[in-house]
Structure 1
Amino acid sequence: MLDSTRLQQISEETNFNALLNSYCREFSNWSRYVGIPKYDAPLANYLFTTTDRLHIRFDFSSIGFEVYAPLKFYADSGRHVFNFPVIERNIATDAINPISIYRFMELAIQFSAEEFPNANTKIINERLTNSVENMEAFLSYFKQNGKPVNFPKMSFIEAEQSLFLGHNAHPLPKGRAGFNSKDELFKFSPETQGKFQLAYFLIAGDNITEKNAEGFDITDLFRIELLDSGNADLIALLDQHPNHKIVPMHPWEADYLLTLPTVQAMEDEKLLFYLGCFGELYTPTSSVRTVYNAASDWMLKFSLHVKITNSQRVNLVRELHRGYDVSKLLKTEYGKAAKAEFPEIEFITDPAFITVNYQGETIDGFNISIRHNPFKGEDAGKNVSLLAALCQDGLPGQKPRIVHIIEEASINKNKTVAHTAVNWFKQYLHLCVAPIVGLYNNFGMAFEFHQQNVMLELDKDFYPAKFYFRDNQGYFFSDAKAEALEAVYPGIAAESGSIVPNEYIIPKLTYYLLINNILGVVNALASNGLADEKTLIDLVYLEFKQFENSDTTGLVDYIINRRSWEVKGNLLTNLCNIDEASAPIDNPAIYREFPNPLSKYFFSKNLIKPKSNEVLYSRFFPKENITINIRPFNIDRDLEMVHDWFNQEHAKPIWKMDGPIKGLELFYRTLLPNDASHSFIGEINGEPTFTIEPYWPMRDGVGACYEALMTDYGAHLLIAPTDKDKKFSFETGQALMDFIFEQPEVGKCIGEAAVESRAMHIFVTRLGFKLEKVIQMPYKMANLTFCYRDWYWDKFPEAKAYAMMKTAQFETEEI
C-alpha cells in the first residue's frame, strides 16, 4: 500500500527527474562521473554508503557548490532516468547532504542569473510546488480509484486521461497554476475524469467573428442545441434576441470572463448575457482545455487562463485562422492529393472558430477552436492514444504501457520481446518518416508532430497502424511552396502568418519530429529494457538516410548531418517567465543546442568507449627495434603516473593540467564515461611513455569551430620522456595514426595545434596532415589540419601493409 508520505516522495522524485532532464537539455555545466574517488575523501566516504557508481555531476562551483545525481539509465535520446537521493556538496566546507527539488531549482536560478537575470524565484517556486502537489493529488486519486491506466488496449479518452505523470519534457509536468482549489483541479482535470456541462453566453452578432470551413455558422448549431433543451426561460431569451449568437465556454473560463471589465461593460449594454451551464456532460482531454463527448461531432478547444506546464492556454487569433486555413486547404485538390499520397496520417481538422470583440478589441478568453471528433459513437473505442501516454513511465505498482504493448505484440507474433520491440519500432518509423518528409517536400506542409499532438492507432497485433495529427494551430507552410499554395487557396496565410521561411521551419520541425516524438519512443523502449538504444538510433539514421538524395528542402541533410539541433528550453522559458503560447508571432521561446544523437551511427567505441583494459594496438618497428602498444587508461593503475607527466615542465604550458592530483582525478572520472574523448596509455617495449586522447568533434568543443563531419576524429598527444633516445616521437605519431585509422568509423583525422607551435606544425605535416585553415577556438588560435586515411597510407606504405595485415588477421579470427 502507498501511504501519503510515499506518494509525496514519488511525486517529488518524478518532478525532480523531469527538472534534472530539462536542465541537462538546456545547460552544459554537467558531465557523467564514474566510480568512487581516491583523492576526494568526503565524496568517497559518502559514495561508499550507496550502491550508485555512475552519476551526473552538475558543476555549480562558480557559486560554491556541486551536485551529484545518481544515474539509473543514461540516454542519448535525451531523457535520463535518475536514482535518488540527489546530493549537494558545499565546496567551501565539504559538507555533503541530500537535496530536494526546490534546492536544485534554487541552484539553477543562482547559476543562470548572469545570463538570465530576470528569473522570478517566488513565481518559479510557486509553480514547482503546484506541480508537485498536483501530481501527488492525482496519484492519490489513482490509488483510491484503483483503475489500471496502462492497458495495451485503451480507448481514445481513456488514453487521454491516463497521463498522471505528465509530459516528461517539461520541468513542471503537472503545473496547473490558476485552479484555486482541489475541487476545481479535480473537476477540470483529465486525470480525475472530471465531467461538467458547458457554460453558454448569448452575445450580439456584431461583436462576434466566426468562420467555418464546413460552410455554416457553428453558432447556429449551438443555438439549436439550446432551443432543444426545453428550458422555457432560456428559449424566451433567445427569441427576444434573434441577432445574438450562442457561444459555448469552458465553465472555469466563463467565471474568469465574468470578472473582466470589458465583459461587464458588454453585460451592462445588453451586448452579452451569461446563460449558465446546460446540456450534455463533457470531459477534458490531455490538454485540459480541449473537451470531449463521445456522442458529439465536435471537440471544443477553449481558451483557459490557467498556467498549464509553461503557458496560459489561450487561443490566439492567428492560430484560429490556421485551423480554418488548413481545413479549407485539405478540401482543395492540392490537399486531397496530400492526403491520398500519405494515407498513414489522418488530419483531424479544426474547421471552425469563434472570437468576440468589444470596441474593436478581441477578448481572448472567448477565442474558441472547434475540432472534428473522429472518436465518436462506435469509433470511440478505437485503440488510439496520444504518444505521450505511450511514452509515460509506469505508475506505482504498474508496468509502463509501452511494456504491456510490446509484450502483447510479442505474444501475437510469437516472437521474443527483444525482436518484437525492434520490429515494432521499424514499423513506427515507416509510418512516420516517409510521410513527414514527403509532405514537406511535395506540399510544403510542416506541423508540430510532437507527443501531445500525435495519436497512434494500434492494429489487432498491437503494432503501429496509423497516425492522427491534431491541433491545426501547429501547421506551417514553407515559403518554397507559397506560389502553389496561393494558387489553390488565395490568401491562405493572410491572417494566420503560416507561410514562413524554410530555414525557420527545419530546426523547429526537427525538434518536434525527432527530439520530442521519435526519440521519445526510442527512450521509452530503451529505458524499459525492451531494446538497445543505439540500435534504435541507428535505425532512425538509416530511415532518414534513404531520403537524403531525394529531399529538396534541406530537412533530411539537417537531421542526419548537422552536429547539433535546437531544443526548446522549457525550463528557461519558465525561469524567464515567458508565456510562450501567448507570445508575439516571433516566438520568444528559448532554444538551446542539442547534440545530434544520430551522429552516434559513426561513434567509434574503440576510440571513445573501449570495453577492455587490454592492449588494443601493437606494432613492431623493425628499424628502431621497438614495439609500441596502446591500451586504455586505467584510473586505478595510471592516475599517479600521468599526474607526474602533466606536472613536468615541458607539459605544463601545452596541456595546462598540472596541479593537485585531486583535480586530475576529477578530470578523468568525468572524461572516461563521456562521449567526447577518452584516454590511452602508450608503451614502448613495455614501458609507459606517452598518453593519447582521441576525441570526437561531434561532442568535443572543436567541432563547433568548423564544419565538422560525423566521421571526423582527432587526438592529443603527450610524450613523457624528455630524453630524445627514449621519446621515439615520430614512431609514436605513426602509432597514433595507425590506431585511429584502424577504426572503420573514421573518415579523416583532424588536428588543431596552436598557430604559434611551429614544432607541432612540422610534426603533423610530416605525418601527412595538410593545413585546411586557421580557426578561432575559445582558448587559442589554431591551425586546423586534415589527414585522410589514403593520404597517410600513400605517405607510409608500411603503415598500410600493417593495416592490411591486421584486417586479414581479424577476418581469420572471425571465421
Structure 2
Amino acid sequence: MGPSARAIAEQATFHAFLYCYLREVDPGQWTDLDNWSTDPSGDYQGPEVCVLRLDLQRARLAIDTHYRSQAGRHRFGKVRVWHAGQHSWSGIEPIQAVYMLIRELYGLTGGMVPELRKSRELELLCRLAESYQVTAHYVAARRGDTRLGSDRFIDTEQSLLFGHSGHPTPKSRQGLPQWQHSVYAPELAGNFRLDYFSVHRSLVEQGSAAALSAEDMISEALSQGRGPVHPAPGRVLIPVHPLQAQWLMTQPSVRSAITRGLIQPLGDLGPVFTATSSVRTVYSDQCDWMFKFSIPVKITNSLRINKYRELRAGMVMAGLTEKTGFNDSYPHFRIISDPAWLTVRLPGSEESGFEVIIRDNPFCQGRDSGIFSIAAITQDPVCGQPSRLRAVIEGLALNEGRSLAAVSQDWFRQYLACAIEPALRLYDDHGVALEAHQQNSLLDLSAGYPRRYFYRDNQGYYLSESKREYLTDLEPGVASTPELFYRDAMIRDRFCYYLIVNQLFSVIARFGQDELVAEQTLLDQVRHRLGLLLPSLNGPAVPLVQMVLRDRRLPYKGNLLTRVHDVDELNADLEMAVYTSISNPLTGCPAKPEKVRHHAVA
C-alpha cells in the first residue's frame, strides 16, 4: 500500500518548511551518525543528523538526514525532540516539529508589537495548514494517474503536486474553496470555458505588438469554440477567468456599468481551457495564445492580480526582445512573449479587475511533446515514481549503453549551454535580466537532452539602468515603462537568486539526490564553464559572474521570512521581498549558524 496521501503530504510540508528554515533562519548543527551519541536509542538511518536548537522553548530537534546536499536541498527522515528536564529524546510527528519551528521563529522576530506578531503567526499557521491539506487532497486524487508520467506540456504543468520547493506554504490557495479545486486547480487537471463580457468600446483599452490587435486575437480564440461569436457594433468582447467573473459581479463599479448598459455579462463561451502551473494562466492546445488573468486568490505570497503597468510592459518587452535580435543569435533560447493586452477602465481604481494579458502559445497540439518546467524536472518523486529527471537520464543511459554519471554530465553541459549561459549573455549584451526561476523556465527534452530553453513571465524583467539610453534607442516604448529599470547592484542580487540559486542549484541538487552524479562534479563543471565565459563578457554580467565564482555568500530570497512578515511582494513597493544570504557552494564555504537577519533588498 505504501504511505497514505496525508503522510506523503505531511512529509512534503515538513521538507518544504525545513528547507526554508535552514536557508533563512538557522543552518543547523550537523553531526555524522557515527559520532552521534546523544541519543543512542534513536532509530537513525541517514549518514548525518541535523540538530536545531530551540532556545526559547528550551528544546532541540534532531532530524535524521538521508542525504545532505551541497546545493542545500537535503532529504530528511524522522524527527526527534528533546525538552529540558526530560533528559531523553522522543519521537515527534513532522508537522508538530514545524509548529515548534514557527513558535521559535516568531519568538526571535523583533520589531513587531505583540498583537501584530500573533496575528502574523496565525496567518502563517493558517496557510501552512491549508497547504498541507491541499497537498494531501492532490496526492490522493492523482495517485495512479498515468498523466503524471506524460511528457505533454500541459500534463507536466499539472504534475506539480508538491509545488515550490523553496516556499514554506507551497500549496496555499487562499480564496479558492475546496469544491472549486477540481475545476480550476492545475493539479486536478480540470477544464472550463472562459466567461465573457461585452463592453462598450469607450471603456476598453488595449494594445498589441503583434500583427493582430488584442480584440482580433480574442475573436480568433473564440472561433475555436462552439461557433463564432461576434460582438455588437461599438462593443468589444473581454474574456475573464470564471473565478474573477464571480468577483467582478460583486463590484459596485461593474454593477453600475451593467445597469447603464455599458457592460453586458455573456456567460461562458468559446473553447475549453485548463490551468497551467501558475493557476491563473490558462491553456488550450487548440489556441495560438494563452491568457493570463487576475484571480481573487492568494497563491504562496501574493494576491494574483495583473497590474495596469504590467500590461504595457509585457507588450513593450515583446517588441524590445524582438529588436535585440537575441533569438536569432541564440535560437536555442527563447523568450515567450506577452504581446497584447486588454482591460476595462472604470472609475475608482487603476485596475478594474478585467485586465487580461495575451501570451504566445508555442505548445499547440503537435508541438507540445517533451516540454517540462524545471520545477517539474526537479520535483521530488511523486507517488512512488522516480523523479522526472531520473526517468529521463535512465532512458538515455539505457538507449546509449552508457553510465548514468556520463549521461548526466553531458545532459548538464547541454542544459548550461541552452539555459544559463544565454541568460547571462542577454544581460551582458543588452542589459535585460530575467526572473528565471524554476517555474518560469521550460526545457524542450523531446530528444532527451535539453535542446531548447523557454522563458515566460511578463512580470519578470529587469532592465539595467546603465543601458537605459541604448535600450530606449532600440525600443522607444521602454520610455513609457520606467518601472522596469533597476540599478545593476539590485539586479545582481535578484538575477543571481533566480537564475543561479533557485534554478541552477535546484538542478544540481536533483542530480545529487537521485544519485545520478555527485553534486561536486557538477559544481566543478559550473565553475569551469563560468570561468571560460567570464573573459568574453564586458557588460553588467561581469560583476555578477565574479560574485557567483568568488563570494562566500550569495543573495537569497527569503520566502519564509517574507511570509513571517506577511509581505505581498506583488503589491509592495518595487515588488520588494525579504532577502537574506546563503553560503555559496561554488566557493566551498561551510554553512555556519547565524542569528536571524531580516532585511529587505529592493
TM over 0.5: yes
- Taking a change above 3 Å as real, the CA distance of residues 375 and 248 of structure 1, as seen in their structure-2 partners, is same
- Taking a change above 3 Å as real, the CA distance of residues 351 and 206 of structure 1, as seen in their structure-2 partners, is same
Find the counterpart in structure 1 of residue 122 from structure 2.
Answer: 122
Contact 1:297 1:376 in 2 (8 A): yes
CA displacement, residues 196-234 of structure 1 (integer Å, 9 cap, x when unaligned):
0001112232322211111443124435666897889x8
Find the counterpart in structure 2 of residue 27 from structure 1.
Answer: 25
CA displacement, residues 162-186 of structure 1 (integer Å, 9 cap, x when unaligned):
11121211111221121112x3011
CA displacement, residues 648-705 of structure 1 (integer Å, 9 cap, x when unaligned):
xxxxxxxxxxxxxxxxxxxxxxxxxxx36xxxxxxxxxxxxxxxxxxxxxx698xx9x
Matches for 1:545-584 after TM superposition, within 5 Å: 545-552=531-538, 553=540, 554-584=543-573
Which amino acid in the other structure matches residue 579 of structure 1?
D
Q: 448, 456, 471: which is aligned to 1:485?
A: 471
Asked whether 1:219 is paired with 2:183, we answer no
Asked whether 1:351 is paired with 2:378, we answer no
Which structure would you say has the larger Rg? 1
| SS class of match (2:126) | helix
CA distance in 1, matches of 2:585, 2:45: 29
| SS class of match (2:459) | helix
- 1:506: Cα distance to partner? 0.8
Which amino acid in the other structure matches residue 407 of structure 1?
E
Gaps of 5+ in 1: 604-674, 677-698, 705-815
- 1:597: Cα distance to partner? 1.1
CA distance in 1, matches of 2:104, 2:254: 42
Matches for 1:611-626 after TM superposition, within 5 Å: none
Find the counterpart in structure 2 of residue 133 from structure 1.
Answer: 133
Contact 1:479 1:501 in 2 (8 A): yes
Asked whether 1:64 is paired with 2:49, we answer no
Q: 267, 275, 281: which is aligned to 1:290?
A: 281
Asked whether 1:412 is paired with 2:399, we answer yes
Find the counterpart in structure 2 of residue 247 from structure 1.
Answer: 238
Find the counterpart in structure 2 of residue 371 from structure 1.
Answer: 359
CA distance in 2, matches of 1:36, 1:486: 62
Find the counterpart in structure 2 of residue 105 from structure 1.
Answer: 99
Find the counterpart in structure 2 of residue 179 from structure 1.
Answer: 176
| SS class of match (1:598) | coil
Asked whether 1:155 is paired with 2:152, we answer yes
Asked whether 1:258 is paired with 2:240, we answer no
CA distance in 1, matches of 2:57, 2:226: 68
Find the counterpart in structure 1 of residue 81 from structure 2.
Answer: 88
CA distance in 1, matches of 2:56, 2:225: 66
Find the counterpart in structure 1 of residue 600 from structure 2.
Answer: none
Which amino acid in the other structure matches residue 56 of structure 1?
C
Matches for 1:114-513 after TM superposition, within 5 Å: 114-116=108-110, 117=112, 118-119=116-117, 120-143=120-143, 145-147=144-146, 149-150=148-149, 154-181=151-178, 183-223=179-219, 238-239=231-232, 242-332=233-323, 335-336=324-325, 338-359=326-347, 361-380=349-368, 382-460=369-447, 462-495=448-481, 497-513=483-499
Find the counterpart in structure 2 of residue 16 from structure 1.
Answer: 14
- Taking a change above 3 Å as real, the CA distance of residues 36 and 413 of structure 1, as seen in their structure-2 partners, is closer
- 1:431: Cα distance to partner? 2.0
CA distance in 2, matches of 1:343, 1:179: 40
Identity level (%): 30
CA distance in 2, matches of 1:254, 1:496: 31
CA distance in 2, matches of 1:371, 1:21: 33
Contact 2:315 2:338 in 1 (8 A): yes
CA distance in 1, matches of 2:375, 2:536: 31
CA distance in 1, matches of 2:272, 2:446: 30
Find the counterpart in structure 2 of residue 624 from structure 1.
Answer: none
CA distance in 2, matches of 1:257, 1:345: 38
Asked whether 1:520 is paired with 2:506, we answer yes
Contact 2:224 2:270 in 1 (8 A): no
Find the counterpart in structure 1 of residue 516 from structure 2.
Answer: 530
- 1:287: Cα distance to partner? 0.9
- Taking a change above 3 Å as real, the CA distance of residues 581 and 162 of structure 1, as seen in their structure-2 partners, is same
CA distance in 1, matches of 2:85, 2:235: 70
Matches for 1:414-813 after TM superposition, within 5 Å: 414-460=401-447, 462-495=448-481, 497-552=483-538, 553=540, 554-585=543-574, 587-600=575-588, 675=590
Contact 1:321 1:496 in 2 (8 A): no
CA distance in 2, matches of 1:168, 1:26: 14
Higher mean C-alpha displacement, 547-556 vs 344-353:
547-556
- Taking a change above 3 Å as real, the CA distance of residues 496 and 483 of structure 1, as seen in their structure-2 partners, is closer
CA displacement, residues 255-288 of structure 1 (integer Å, 9 cap, x when unaligned):
1221222222222332222111112110111111
| SS class of match (1:377) | coil
Contact 1:313 1:582 in 2 (8 A): no
Contact 2:307 2:351 in 1 (8 A): no
Contact 1:193 1:284 in 2 (8 A): yes
CA distance in 2, matches of 1:364, 1:88: 51
Contact 1:29 1:60 in 2 (8 A): no
Contact 1:88 1:99 in 2 (8 A): no
CA displacement, residues 589-626 of structure 1 (integer Å, 9 cap, x when unaligned):
101111111102xx7xxxxxxxxxxxxxxxxxxxxxxx
**What TM-score comes out, normalization by structure 1 length?**
0.68
- Taking a change above 3 Å as real, the CA distance of residues 31 and 366 of structure 1, as seen in their structure-2 partners, is farther
CA displacement, residues 87-112 of structure 1 (integer Å, 9 cap, x when unaligned):
22222444644144255234334334
CA distance in 2, matches of 1:105, 1:298: 43
Taking only aligned residues, the RMSD between alpha carbons, in angstroms, comes to: 2.4
Which amino acid in the other structure matches residue 572 of structure 1?
L
CA displacement, residues 416-448 of structure 1 (integer Å, 9 cap, x when unaligned):
112111121112112233212211111111101
The alignment covers a number of residue pairs equal to 585
Which amino acid in the other structure matches residue 104 of structure 2?
Q
CA distance in 2, matches of 1:459, 1:231: 34
CA distance in 1, matches of 2:479, 2:578: 25
Contact 2:222 2:271 in 1 (8 A): no
- Taking a change above 3 Å as real, the CA distance of residues 260 and 92 of structure 1, as seen in their structure-2 partners, is farther
| SS class of match (2:423) | helix
CA distance in 2, matches of 1:146, 1:537: 35
CA distance in 2, matches of 1:484, 1:157: 38
| SS class of match (2:61) | strand
- 1:136: Cα distance to partner? 0.9
Which amino acid in the other structure matches residue 187 of structure 1?
V
**What TM-score comes out, normalization by structure 2 length?**
0.92
Which amino acid in the other structure matches residue 412 of structure 2?
F
Contact 2:56 2:104 in 1 (8 A): no
- 1:536: Cα distance to partner? 0.9
CA distance in 1, matches of 2:262, 2:224: 23
| SS class of match (2:146) | coil
Contact 1:34 1:55 in 2 (8 A): yes
CA distance in 2, matches of 1:347, 1:323: 11
Higher mean C-alpha displacement, 99-108 vs 307-316:
99-108
Contact 2:10 2:132 in 1 (8 A): yes
Contact 1:61 1:91 in 2 (8 A): no
CA distance in 2, matches of 1:77, 1:574: 23
CA displacement, residues 371-420 of structure 1 (integer Å, 9 cap, x when unaligned):
0011113213x311111110011112211111110011112322111211
